């Protein structure tokens, strides 16, 4: 996460494409990083009717922003679908398995 914040403090602007909006970077609250270098962040400036925060995916190396879902549950559902997974983390991803299996370490 320190590397992310160091990049955010650089002079280079965060690309907003395809789903970001001007000044979004000021309201992002990071909560996870993928093994591929993507970050998951809540948009703290907006809340849905269910009081949940929308979620964004920040592409690896700050390559852009994608809308992940209105809340964490919607994000996970979108990542399970063959049709919508390409819109969330990106075109190179396959749908996740519907059951959680922890990553095997060493």
Q: Contact at 8 Å (CB) between 88 and 70?
A: no
| Domain boundaries defined on the chain | 1-51
**pTM for the full predicted model:** 0.71
Q: What angle do CA 89, 4, 10 make, to 5 degrees?
A: 115
Residue 9: its pLDDT value, please? 58
Residue 59: its pLDDT value, please? 80
| pLDDT tens sequence across 28-47 | 899 998 877 888 999 999 88
Which residue has 């592409």 as its token pair?
Answer: 59
């Amino acid at each position: 996460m320190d590397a992310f914040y160091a990049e955010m403090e650089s002079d280079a602007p965060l690309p907003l494409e395809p789903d970001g909006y001007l000044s979004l970077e000021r309201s992002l609250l990071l909560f996870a990083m993928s093994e591929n270098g993507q970050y998951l962040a809540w948009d703290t400036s907006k809340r849905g009717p269910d009081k949940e925060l929308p979620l964004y995916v920040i592409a690896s190396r700050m390559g852009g922003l994608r809308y992940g879902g209105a809340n964490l549950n919607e994000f996970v559902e979108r990542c399970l679908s063959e049709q919508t997974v390409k819109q969330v983390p990106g075109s190179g991803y396959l749908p996740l398995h519907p059951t959680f299996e922890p990553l095997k370490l060493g």
